[in-house]
Structure 1
């Protein structure tokens, strides 16, 4: 499994618009091979911004990389930069290979 995350520092007062943009966008993720799940996470509020992270799980790093080169990726990001959200800096990408995974079904009977 591969986890891809982007961290966003959203200026205070722009949180509702940021969340609206993500809620209303057509991500095309469910049509991409290897896609597992997506979460938009809201983190702590700092002095100048609220921290958010987009979190996607993929079957493999290769699945994620194929997504970034796909027509679906271009379509999902076509309107990036046209919204009214104020950011502090660009998104910060972080990619992780899963080493250990535990699930609720792993509990002993």
Structure 2
């Protein structure tokens, strides 16, 4: 089974990216996907993406698209608010499955 890499990004790389990371793991594992999630600050994203090579980015803050180096981005706000978590997880899962 392929392991998908996800980079969660927030302003400080501590609080909201950690929540988003845990929810990603939980909700995508329930959907039968194997995921590895790493967290970082928004200012680190541009340097982290070429090294980590994530399949997707889940951001809880604004991130400049040029910093993403073409990586598909999803808004992680539903993982923080609880509103629309299943829908977001379904969207991320569908995208990741399309990469297989």
Q: TM-score range by the shorter chain?
A: 0.3 to 0.5
TM-score (norm 1): 0.32
TM-score (norm 2): 0.33
Higher strand share: 1
Bigger Rg, structure 1 or 2: 1
